[in-house]
Amino acid sequence: MSVWLEPAHQSRKTHFVLAGAKQSSRILVGHRDHHRRAVLARTLTADGYRVRAARDGDTLLEWIADDMLEEDPHQPQLIIVEIDLPGRRGIDLLADLRAVGWETPFVLLAGRRSRLVEKARRFTRTIVFEEPYELYDLRTAVSVLVSQRSAGPGRRRSWAAARSVS
């Protein structure tokens, strides 16, 4: 089933694919700002995703490692994280996870003129949104990335290495 949503700007239409996989798709969100973190979590939950949100990168890494060690069948399909998150920065979390072979897509949220944007664009399966960005553009990217991830082959490596990253 597909749904067309009319965004605030009438010149664009955003297409969301609603599928059974969406109900089991889990997204991790990391943002230092409580309000932005809450808006992202509420919006993605309303779109049908299971969302877990943290205010720092160390907590996100702990959750990822715990899920992998428990062999949770609902490991994250996507991580949305502020590029310069407190604790383990989003860009460092991405680099560390790619170094141990984790291919889960990332969406990095960057402030204006962040020096880390060019570094972030070098990673595969990563989209960077620089401020100001529109929420409906982010939702579209999430829909596409999750649907690609659900359809893709071989999802993740074993995570014995997850603890070594922390």
Is 113 contained in some domain? Answer: yes
Is 12 contained in some domain? Answer: no
Instruction: Please say whether the beta carbons of 129 and 107 come within 8 A.
Output: yes
Alpha carbon distance 39, 24 (integer Å): 20
Is 6 contained in some domain? Answer: no
Is 44 contained in some domain? Answer: yes
Average pLDDT over residues 51-73: 87
Instruction: Quote the tokens at residue 12.
Output: 């664009």
Residue 103 sits in a domain of what CATH number?
A: 3.40.50.2300
Instruction: Quote the tokens at residue 39.
Output: 């808006």
Predicted confidence at residue 118, as pLDDT, reads: 85
* Separation of CA 140 from chain center: 12
Confirm whether pTM is higher than 0.95.
no
- Number of domains forming the structure of the chain: 1
- Full domain range(s) for residue 83: 24-165
Query: Per mean pLDDT, which range of 4-13, 91-100, 101-110, 139-148 is the poorest?
Result: 4-13
